Amino acid sequence: MTRIRFAGPALLTKLRRELRRAGVRNPELHGAQPRGAHAFPVARHRAETINDKDGIVTGVNGTSNHLREATATINFQATPSLKLSTEVRQDRSDLAIYAKSGGPSKSQTSLELQAVYAF
């Protein structure tokens, strides 16, 4: 018996198929992933920029504005049906278009926590 650590069902199926092709009869492979997960946490990032020359996107018509954002995300597939995510986003603008308690601001930071259940 061969023990494969941290292998998901798709990898085990592929390994069984390859062993059968190599002549191994009835290969036994067993695997597991930590915390019952189907994937390790995955970190992603993205950045976007918009040059709003006419102010149409930001709602400040006739006024040029340059928008920038950067986002960092961590996703974790807890079960086949449940995905957990956290995201931090920083938005910046040449104009003070973001509402804050002290008045308009040229930047804002947001934190999102998500749980997505698929059925």
DSSP per-residue codes, 4-41: -TT--HHHHHHHHHHHHHTT-SS--EE---GGG-SS--
pTM, to two decimals: 0.59
**pLDDT, tens only, 32-78:** 444 444 567 888 888 888 888 877 777 766 788 888 899 999 998 88
